[in-house]
Chains A and B, each alone.
Chain A
């Protein structure tokens, strides 16, 4: 009831304000008259009675203000008043406003952009029903104390799926690319090869048609396909009668049994269709073939820890049953959302921290500007205080001004963030999931708004507290003179700015060094001047291995005849392409049963491959043209595989039988040579142990051509494509890519992190420089009189410059020292991002410190030079 009264009367007061004011005036005057009259009755003289009453009542305006403060509506009104006043102040000082808004917008904009990335990549839920229940189950391998996740083998998957009790469903898949023919031009077709549980695990159903049945998981029965919505639209114009029709994948017929809804995307990078995986009878012997990605949905109420316990005990059993194949493998279940982002998450969080520091630096900058301005505004504030404004009222007003500034900057920052996001989408690495979906959406806007408000509180509070704390009467009397304390505060803020900038620059410097180091590492081959081009031919055209071989021979010969080509070879899968192929194998004469075979990577290549990519021969020989079908089968082995599997150094001459996963024929041969290691997965990953088989003895329908060019490799693109299509017009030719592009893309994430942190560090440097310049300029203006006296007394221009610069450099040096200490914190923060460089790298720290010092020298020299030009006569008259 009382609350209702309070609210209602407040609203009423807003409308009857003028009358209320008039009545208050009259009432107070009445009170005063009554008081004086009362004192006259007690025998005081009129003069004395009036004086006493005035002392008792205090200032009339202050009293009124006290009464007004009682109602809440006054505070609302005050806020709008402050806003209007703040806007007027900002308009009156356009240069201050522009500098402050710009500096803040840079700081907030960087935060907005970074948060957008985090929102898209880390925070946004995955686009599946109850996505929080979906877990990725991976095989793990413990090496040098670090646990690494790998794909899983079919038998392991079956055992997990059938024995675990924590999952309502589980499925396994791998991606398969094939050629889609018979729908006009031959197209590359990306299919998810999955087991039957895929749709129940992802809780999605086809909008049209049906799901896979369990029987369709078997090889031979798996020629059915469920189309993605996009493919259904592009290839079948969304016709409902597409169901039951047949499409040709790698020349084999597949019956369309369903179409997925338009909002269904799996994997996150998208796919054209879903095909049952088609295991053959021997699948249970392939326990060493790790090529499946396993996803499961937790039963409701089951925790991740329980699921892990469940799986671990199953795996412990498997290790006992299959000591050679499963002996060293473990298992791990992770939330899928966590597994997807993997080590991207810590990197992005480090960047968010960095960008937060940039915002802090920007705030310190604005704080400094406001402190400088507050000394100029002292008289105004003192006057308001004397007229009865409470201190809290002044603080509120200054915070409102800060808020105004900050919200303006927040709005401007959206524009900057938009530009940043456009370039992030264009130049960001393709292997950060969902990076391309970043945008300024609602969560991002809320974040920007919150950051703006937080910034306003941060930068406006110190100046507001400081400049409202004074003795009003004293200040009105004295002229404007900044206190020593204000100077110290500004100095401290500046030192903090320099220290934080130092830390950011050092971090960026370390990433740059690490990146440069990695770029200089050899991947085990020479990527320069090499063009790669993946070709797939339809099986139907080449029924036998011999026919395929004739095709490849013809293609390679014609490409070799191109004038700009130095050498041509073929390989599959191509290093750094992201594809890989591993196979279990046994050594002839060994005693390991088939189900316990070890596994290694397998590459298929032509004789010129090693010369074309400059992979060195260590021992024996490489393939020759006579290693063909019908001749003795041969293999090459990589250095590290030779060391690992033949520690006695007797690799050459050993006979190897390569088992193979579903669909591939067995490969076997005698090791005839040892070649150098290739870092197939990128220079920042170790080179995997690898076997090489000759293409001429393998009969593959898809390989990657590598051509070493005399000039720029990209110039070969058109002529090479023409030749390939002239030989077989149904051949599917992927967009050719230079090996250097692949190499650079393999460092894409690292480059991305380096660019972002570098950008933030430069931003910090600029802000610190502006801050330093501002503080020194302001202090030069303050000391004009002093400088004038010094010049008049005979100080030379050089002495004046030295005097001013000493002040700036002292602050910068203090900041550098603190920043250097802070830089040691980087060690733990940047651990995962640095390769081959220590976090306390002295060279990086020294260069960073020198760079900052140089900027500090420039930022204090400019105002110092101005001080030296002071005309003493003008300076002495200056006030």
Chain B
């Protein structure tokens, strides 16, 4: 685990949140924690990035908020993926995979391939 956690690549935070919510509805702290865990601590997302992102995604109609009780029986706002969000996630994931595959090919290129 690196000493200083990486910040999320610019523009991908929205996609990561959508993906997390695609697994199951989740509250704010849980989403941040889940991203950190799945990425094995590579990404640490702070509240200052998370909450504006929630507001943004909600405004775009990609997620919905809902007050529910937590496992500790506390009230928390859970976020759910909407249909539009699901579609958006699919599109972004496809785009991302195409891009990262391309980047990987470029990075692995040897002079023999030229």
Which residue numbers of A lie inside 8 Å of B, CB to CB?
A: 1-2, 5-6, 9-10, 23-24, 26-28, 30-31, 33-35, 37-38, 56-58, 62-63, 66-67, 69-71
Q: B72 interface residue, CB < 8 Å from A?
A: yes
Flag if A67 contacts B52 (CB, 8 Å): yes
Q: Does B28 contact A (CB under 8 A)?
A: yes
- B42 interface contact, C-beta 8 A: no
What per-residue 1/0 map shows which CB atoms of B48-91 lie under 8 Å from chain A? 10011011101111000100001010111100000010000000
> Is B33 interfacial (CB-CB < 8 Å)?
yes
User: Given A6-B60, A34-B29 in contact, is the A58-B47 Cβ separation under 8 Å?
Assistant: yes
Q: A2-B60, A10-B59 are in contact. Are A66 and B51 (CB under 8 A)?
A: yes
Name the one of A10, A23, A28, A70 contacting B47, with C-beta atoms under 8 angstroms.
A28
CB pair A58–B48 under 8 Å, yes or no, is: yes
Given contacts A5-B60, A34-B28, A71-B59, 12 further A-B contacts (CB under 8 A): A23-B77, A27-B28, A31-B29, A31-B47, A31-B51, A34-B30, A34-B76, A35-B29, A58-B48, A62-B48, A66-B52, A67-B55
Complex Cα spacing A38 to B32, Å: 12
Some 14 contacts from A to B, beta carbons below 8 A apart, are: A23-B65, A28-B47, A30-B27, A30-B28, A31-B28, A34-B27, A34-B70, A57-B46, A58-B47, A58-B48, A66-B48, A67-B51, A69-B52, A71-B59
Question: Are B61 and A2 in contact, CB atoms less than 8 angstroms apart?
Answer: yes
Which among A6, A9, A67, A71 has the greatest number of chain B C-beta atoms within 10 A? A67
Which partner residue on chain B sits nearest A23 by CB separation? B77
Are B60 and A28 in touch, CB under 8 angstroms? no
The residue of chain B having its C-beta at the shortest distance from the C-beta of A56 within the complex is B46
Contacts A2-B61, A6-B59, A57-B46 given: A33-B74 contact, CB under 8 Å?
Answer: yes
Chain A residues in 8 Å Cβ range of B47: 28, 31, 56-58, 63
B59 CB to closest chain A CB, in angstroms? 5
Query: By CB atoms of chain B within 10 A, which of A10, A26, A62, A70 has the most?
Result: A70
* Main SS class of interface, A: helix
Q: Which 6 A-B pairs have the closest CB atoms?
A: A34-B29, A5-B61, A70-B55, A9-B59, A57-B47, A27-B77
Closest residue of A by beta carbon distance from B31: A31
User: Are B72 and A30 in contact (CB-based, < 8 A)?
Assistant: no
When chains A and B are docked, how far (Å) is the Cα of A9 from the Cα of B61?
9
Q: How far is the CB of A787 from chain B (nearest CB, A)?
A: 49
By a beta-carbon cutoff of 8 Å, the part of chain B in contact with chain A is: 27-30, 33, 46-48, 51-52, 54-56, 58-61, 65, 70, 72, 74-77, 84
- Prevailing SS type, chain B contact patch: helix
Residues of B within 8 A of A35 (CB): 29
Closest to A5 in B: B61
Tell me how far the C-beta of A3 lies from the nearest C-beta in chain B, rounded to whole angstroms.
9
Residues of the B chain whose Cβ atoms lie less than 8 Å from the Cβ of A70? 52, 55-56, 59
Closest Cβ–Cβ distance, residue A834 to chain B (whole Å): 61
Asked whether, in the complex, the Cβ of A57 is within 8 Å of the Cβ of B48, the reply is yes
- Within the complex, the shortest CB–CB distance from A25 to chain B, in Å, comes to 11
From B30, B51, B74, A63 is in contact (CB under 8 Å) with: B51
Chain A residues positioned under 8 Å from B46 (CB to CB): 56-58
Q: B72 and A5: CB pair below 8 A?
A: no
* Closest beta carbon of chain A to B82's beta carbon, Å: 10
Which residues of A have CB within 8 Å of B60? 2, 5-6
Q: When chains A and B are docked, how far (Å) is the Cα of A63 from the Cα of B50?
A: 10
A30: which of B54, B56, B65, B74 is its contact (CB, 8 Å)? Answer: B74
Q: Are B84 and A1 in contact (CB under 8 A)?
A: yes
| Chain A residue nearest to B57 in the complex (CB) | A70
Q: Are B72 and A37 in contact (CB under 8 A)?
A: yes
Q: Contacts of A1 on B, CB cut-off 8 Å?
A: 61, 84
Chain A nearest Cβ from B92, distance in angstroms: 13
A contact residues around B76 at 8 Å (CB)? 27, 30, 34
Which residues of chain B are within 8 angstroms of A69 by Cβ–Cβ distance? 52
Output the least CB separation between B64 and chain A (Å): 11
The CA of A31 and the CA of B33, in the complex, are separated in Å by: 11
With both chains docked as a complex, state the minimum distance between the C-beta of A257 and any C-beta of chain B, in angstroms: 74
| List of B residues within 8 angstroms of A34 by Cβ | 27-30, 70, 76
Docked complex Cα distance between A26 and B75 (Å): 9
Nearest residue, chain A, Cβ from B28: A31
Q: How far is the CB of A419 from the nearest CB of chain B, in Å?
A: 52
Chain B residue with the shortest CB-CB distance to A68:
B55
Min Cβ gap A38→B in Å is 7
Instruction: Report the bound CA distance from A628 to B48 in whole Å.
Output: 108
Q: Are B61 and A71 neighbours in the complex by a CB distance under 8 Å?
A: no
Contacts of B70 in A (CB 8 A): 34
When the two chains form their complex, are residues B48 and A9 in contact, meaning their CB atoms are under 8 A apart? no
Task: Report the bound CA distance from A31 to B52 in whole Å.
Answer: 14
Question: Which residue on chain B has the smallest CB distance to residue A53?
Answer: B47
Bound-complex Cα distance A10 to B60 (A) = 10
CB pair A71 B55 closer than 8 Å: yes
CA distance A1 to B82 in the complex (A): 14
| Residues in B whose Cβ lies below 8 Å from that of A58 | 46-48
Q: Given the complex of chains A and B, what is the CA–CA distance between A627 and B56 in angstroms?
A: 103
Write out the residue numbers on chain A whose beta carbons fall within 8 Å of the beta carbon of B72: 37
Are the CB atoms of B48 and A63 closer together than 8 Å? yes
Q: Do residues A9 and B29 form an inter-chain contact, with CB atoms below 8 A?
A: no
Q: How far is the CB of B58 from chain A (nearest CB, A)?
A: 7
| A844–B61 CA distance with the chains assembled, in angstroms | 71
**What is the bound-complex CA distance between A10 and B55, given in angstroms?**
11
CA distance A9 to B75 in the complex (A): 24
With CB as the reference atom, state the residue of chain B lying closest to A62: B48
